[in-house]
Amino acid sequence: MCGIVGALAQRPIMAVLLEGLKVLEYRGYDSAGVAVLDHGTAHVVKTAGKVAVLEAEVKAQGCDGPIGIAHTRWATHGKANEVNAHPHQVGNIILVHNGIIENYQELKHKLSFEGYTFKSETDSEVLAALIHYYQHRELKPDSSLKIHTSKFNAFNQALNEVKGTYGVAVIDTENPDAIFVARSGSPLVVGCGIGENFVASDIIALLPVTSKFIYLEDGDRGIIGRDHVMLFDRDQVLVNRPVQSIQVNPEILGKGPYKHYMQKEIFEQPEALRNTLMGRLDEDNVSANAFVAQEEQAHDFLEVLKHIEHVEMVACGTSYHAALVGKYLIEEHAGISVNVTIASEYRYKRTIVPPNSLFVTLSQSGETADTLAALELAQRQGYRHTLAICNVDNSSLVRMSQYVFLTRAGREIGVASTKAFTTQLIALLLLTIALGRAHHEIDEHEGANLIASLHQAPAVVHTVLQLDAKIQELSSDFVGKEHALFLGRGPMYPIALEGALKLKEISYIHAEGYASGELKHGPIALIDSKMPVIVVAPDNLWLPKLISNIEEVKARGGKLYIFSGKNFGHSAEATMIDLGTVSPFIAPLVFTVPLQLLAYHVAVINGTDVDHPRNLAKSVTVE
């Protein structure tokens, strides 16, 4: 996590750095800092809290300069305070870092022995000291070498000693004409201007200043000058990475008429679903181009599916919940076994790889460290094929995978994932149909029916969004509540998990999702007249069983909120929210929407920072 921006120009660049940081706040926002060099003098400003606090402090100090680096932090090592905020300065070296230096204690010990002292509790300051150490103790500046080369050697030597992950940008008070950068496990992109260049964790930080980008590959290190960019690969061979022109309308970064990004993104779902489906459906099957092969020689994905006997899915958080829905769908309709594992668990356990398995990763950002590590492991474990379902083109996950399904949700800025989730579900519905057709579990007639229900999804979600005012009204019932239970059965069980996650992460109400049949095995003890119990109850195979569970809650005085697809009678104990008849195939996706709205309105009433809930970051690029 953490966001990095750097700039090297012939004009003052403080505004570029601060504007860049603001859009990178999705990567962390517990403290921020900036360093600029002005005629060889370093000005470092750091503050706890969000970028707005830093901006006010920078304004008060009035500093600026033509070269600088900036950082917005999500704390890993050390509290979220001013001292631990980046940049970290050790002598002439000033550094910003995203990632984790795993052997920092060992390096700190070595450097302490050499006389270094440390101001912060961070692993990043140790890296700054290590670069300083190699510049000053080992590599005496060699007059026959250019200053860049000698200093870059020291930078390399320090990084060679580091274990862990990093995206780093370093400036040097003795060398105000270069930014040194390196990437290993954390994203970094160079923005190319005319007589000026930039670096950032994400292109969105640089959209106001350029549309030309060079994506660093993992292991790359380099020197950014005003007129040149030199990059070396992991073997330290000079490489020529392509400059890509990327046109993004900066307006998509605005909130439009909405109060929060999350609200905007909830309401964008009909369009996001439509875009995700566009051009990917034939009459009774998924079109051949829906899943894209990354290599030219690769087989057509629909052909590949004919040989797939097992699917392994790995993801984190909301994306993990999507994968759980995928398991129900694929096993039910395509008759193929599916295993779903949280990425941080997958990467450290032994896995038995069944023959002819497809390894599927799901991620909004495509930069989640645990998911990337799980994919790397899967590649070594010999999975026959890998597929990424991802919302960010050019992300690490996309680049590492053999086949890709881009979810086309559009940029998701609110920290709580909404439209990325429902478009992931579209991807999984398509995968279900494709697998079912490939294995003759879904015939032409059923294929055509499922496709027809997919076509309806955007309009049905649009209709469900009209319940907004009603859901806003009932959200006032949640004032003062500390706990909530979400119940579902079958594919609605993961939707209950997702509803609970949304509520807890943005409103700070403790919420749990349960498969409603599990209620009597423990959680029923929690039910009393104060406990809100939210039930996701579309008209499907599981409904009769779910109704029995609802009766169990009623009998114990629980306060019920039932999102239903079939009117099964009003009663004083329950608030019914009727979504109307929805095809069971798309029901998981449709019934997610009112739960997102509920979480949103409860958070607004609770007065939380909806788009930036405490302790979270949008993109979890550390382990």
Distance CA 540, CA 581 (A): 10
Residues of this chain that interact with ligand F6R (CB under 6 A) are: 316-319, 363-365, 368, 371, 416-417, 501, 505, 619-620
Q: By the 8 A CB rule, do 308 and 358 touch?
A: yes
Question: 549-581 as b/e, with b when 16 or more CB fall inside 10 Å?
Answer: bbeebbebebbbbbbbbeebeeeebbbbbebee
Confirm whether 502 is a catalytic residue.
no
**Nearer of residues 36 and 200 to ligand F6R, judged by Cβ:** 200
Q: Which is nearer to ligand F6R, 375 or 582 (CB)?
A: 375
CA 593, 594, 595, 600 dihedral sign is positive
Rg, Å, the chain Cα set: 26
CB of 433 to ligand F6R, least distance (A): 23
End-to-end CA distance of the chain: 9
Residue pair 128/73 in contact (Cβ under 8 Å)? The answer is: no
Q: Minimum distance between the CB of residue 421 and ligand F6R, rounded to whole angstroms?
A: 7
**164 strand-pairing partners:** 101
Q: Give the nearer residue to ligand F6R in terms of CB position, either 126 or 404.
A: 404
| Shortest Cβ 503–ligand F6R spacing (Å) | 11
Cα of 582 vs its chain's centroid, Å = 30
Helix axes 444-465, 419-438, angle to 10 degrees: 170
Burial of 240 (0-12, 13-18, 19+ CB in 10 A): exposed
Closer residue to ligand F6R in complex, CB, 30/505: 505
Minimum CB–partner distance for residue 215 and ligand F6R (Å): 18
Strand 3-8 with 67-73, pairing = antiparallel
Strands (DSSP E) contained in 195-251 are 197-200, 212-215, 221-224, 229-232, 238-239, 244-245
Nearer to ligand F6R, 67 or 597 (CB): 597
CB of 330 to ligand F6R, least distance (A): 19
Closest CA to 330 of 458, 445, 439, 460: 439
Task: Tell me the angle at which helices 104-113 and 123-133 cross, rounded to the nearest 10 degrees.
Answer: 50
Nearer to ligand F6R, 118 or 508 (CB): 508
Task: Give the residue at shortest CB distance from ligand F6R.
Answer: 317
How far apart are the C-alpha atoms of 311 and 396, rounded to whole Å? 22
Least distance from ligand F6R to the Cβ atom of residue 444, Å: 34
Q: How far is the CB of 409 from ligand F6R (least distance, A)?
A: 11
As given in the structure block, the two tokens for residue 379 are 């590649």
Handedness of CA 213, 314, 253, 200 (dihedral sign): negative
Q: What are the start-end ranges of the H helices in 114-167?
A: 123-133, 147-160
Catalytic residue among 2, 63, 192, 316: 2
Please choose, from the candidates 503, 501, 525, the residue with its C-alpha nearest in 3D space to the C-alpha of residue 597.
503
Burial (CB count <10 Å: 0-12, 13-18, 19+), residue 55: buried
Name the minimum Å distance from CB 230 to ligand F6R: 31
CA distance 444 to 251: 43
Look up 192 and say whether it is catalytic.
no
Question: Which CB sits closer to ligand F6R, 82 or 498?
Answer: 498
Q: Are 454 and 277 in contact (CB under 8 A)?
A: yes
- Would you say 392 or 435 has its CB closer to ligand F6R? 392
For ligand F6R, give the closer residue by CB, 122 or 318: 318
Q: In a 3-state reduction of DSSP, which class is residue 567?
A: coil
For 360, the 3-state DSSP assignment is strand
**Nearest-5° angle of CA 379, CA 381, CA 384?**
65
Instruction: Please work out, in degrees rounded to the nearest 5, the angle formed at the alpha carbon of residue 189 by the alpha carbons of 186 and 195.
Output: 150
What is the nearest approach in angstroms of ligand F6R to the Cβ of residue 397? 8
Least distance in angstroms from the C-beta of 361 to ligand F6R? 8
Round to whole Å and give the CA distance between 167 and 183. Answer: 4
Using the minimum distance from each CB to ligand F6R, give the nearer residue, 156 or 423: 423
> Where does 429-558 show beta strands of DSSP type E?
483-488, 510-515, 532-537
Q: Compute CA distances 409 → 50, 71, 246, 277, whole Å.
A: 27, 27, 17, 11
* Phi and psi, residue 583, nearest 5°: -60, 130
Q: Output the smallest distance, CB 157 to ligand F6R, in A.
A: 34
**Residue 344 or 564: which CB sits closer to ligand F6R?**
344
* Least gap, CB of 548 to ligand F6R (angstroms): 31
Q: Which of 22, 502, 559, 618 is catalytic?
A: 618
Active site residues: 2, 618
